[in-house]
Amino acid sequence: MALTALKVKNAKPGRHTDGRGLCLLVKDSGARTWVLRMQKDGRRRDYGLGSAMDVSLADARDAAAALRRKVREGTDPVAERRKARKIVPNFEKAARDCYEAMKEGWKNQRHASWISSLENHVFPAIGSKPVNEVDSATVVNVLSPIWLAIPDTARRILQRIGAVLDFAHIKGWLPNELSLRSVRKGLPRQVDKGAHLEAMAYADVPALMRKLATAAPTTGRDALRFTIYNAVRSNETRFAVWAEFDLDKAVWTIPGERMKAGETHVVPLSAPAMALLRKRWNERINDTGLVFSNDGEKAISDMTMTKLLRDDGIKGVTVHGFRSSFTDWAAERTRFPKEVADKALAHKLPNKVEAAYRRTDFFEKRRSLMARWAEHLDRAPVKGRKDLDASIPIKLAA
């Protein structure tokens, strides 16, 4: 028997039917709720329509009719309500959640570079944008300023944005998977310059070092000078922490997980490199944090050192290219064997048999080599002078 307004008002605890699945559910507490029971995909479901205190009998019937119509049209009201209740985070929150979920098992260096690349190049542009509003056009706009300037980094960032969007889809924040394959079509073609990174002529590096030393000191300038003094990769400097240094012995031990070859690399530090380190030590925030950081926790951007070169009008030259400058200098202006310079660069021997038998790391020879390199870098210009270093014998000890 159909309900009336009076029956609704006086109904006792229990379920009271109105017809076609519409019921008034009265609890022992007196609370009255409208419920519509229907079959959906072979399953019986109850759909709440609100409190009888707020929804009249006539409104409940209208709501039930509308809900039946949606179900006939193939809509799942429960899924729709869940979707409406789900809070969609902004892109930065989604990216940080993705990072936390994925970082287990990564190398420490990748930990920092994965998230720092987004912090430096993506979050300022779209970090506050809801992740479900990020589309291919948005990604094109983010990558356009860096696509040609730092192509390798830009390509990695594209992959990382894709990983965040895949994560968002799995979490239910994106209704459909978003392919970023079309993004490259909206960006200029990156010219493949091969494996060789453009380097500064070794004879010109001392002038740059003098300019860096006399300019207003910044973390970026210190990092660039330190990188050049030690002929290391920029990431090895950017993520260096104080625990890796023995300032008494002038030794920097870079753990294998931070090295490209995956092997621990011990760097003998020259006097100028040590002077720079002691300056950073006196300005440190704590005894364990990052050496080249303004707060000891956040690494400087991978573009910070490159930007210093560009601001000085030095085009094309890369920070990594100073390793080539060092190699050329060692080959042309010293008698140190090539194996010593290669070890200073933490290069692996290509011949596996030779690598298995060569146990030495040429540490003392490398200490002399890096001292001579520092002298070259800090040398005042003298017109026409040749700087052949004859202090090391030509023959290599077995």
User: Under DSSP, is residue 140 helix (H, G, I), strand (E, B) or coil?
Assistant: helix
Per-residue model confidence as pLDDT tens digits over 48-94 = 888 888 888 898 899 888 888 887 877 776 666 666 556 889 999 99
Host H or E run for residue 224: helix 219-230
Top pLDDT among 293 and 181 is at 293
Question: Which strands make up the sheet holding 32-40, listed edge to edge?
Answer: 14-19, 22-26, 32-40, 43-51
Which of 97-111, 194-208, 260-274, 375-389 is predicted most confidently? 260-274
Q: How confident is the model at residue 205 (pLDDT cuts 50, 70, 90)?
A: very high
Of 33-42, 80-89, 381-390, the poorest mean pLDDT is in 381-390
Domain 5-85 architecture: 2-Layer Sandwich (3.30)
Which of 81-90, 112-121, 178-187, 344-353 is predicted most confidently? 178-187
- Written out in words, the top-level CATH class of the domain with range 91-186 is mainly alpha
Residue 109 pLDDT more than 70? no
Rounded to 10°, the helix 91-102/108-121 angle is 170
> In the predicted model, what is the mean pLDDT of residues 92-119?
79
- Please report, for the chain, how many H helices and E strands are present, in that order: 17, 7
The CATH superfamily assigned to 202-378 is: Intergrase catalytic core (1.10.443.10)
Of 56-60, 126-130, 378-382, the poorest mean pLDDT is in 378-382
Rounded to 10°, the helix 271-282/363-378 angle is 80
Top pLDDT among 233 and 384 is at 233
Question: What pLDDT is attached to residue 110?
Answer: 53
Q: Is the pTM of this model over 0.75?
A: no
> In the predicted model, what is the mean pLDDT of residues 268-292?
94
Which of 73-82, 124-133, 152-161 is predicted most confidently? 124-133
Which positions ≥6 away from 13 have C-beta within 8 Å? Answer: 26, 27, 28, 30
> In the predicted model, what is the mean pLDDT of residues 128-134?
94
Rounded to 10°, the helix 151-170/108-121 angle is 90
Parse the chain into domains and list their residue ranges: 5-85, 91-186, 202-378
Residue 391 pLDDT more than 50? no
Per-residue model confidence as pLDDT tens digits over 217-231 = 899 999 999 999 999
Q: How confident is the model at residue 383 (pLDDT cuts 50, 70, 90)?
A: low
Residue 265 pLDDT more than 50? yes
Which positions ≥6 away from 381 have C-beta within 8 Å? Answer: 206, 207
Give bridge partners of residue 43 from the DSSP assignment.
40
What does the mean pLDDT of the chain come to?
84
Percent share of the chain, pLDDT over 70: 85
Q: How confident is the model at residue 113 (pLDDT cuts 50, 70, 90)?
A: confident
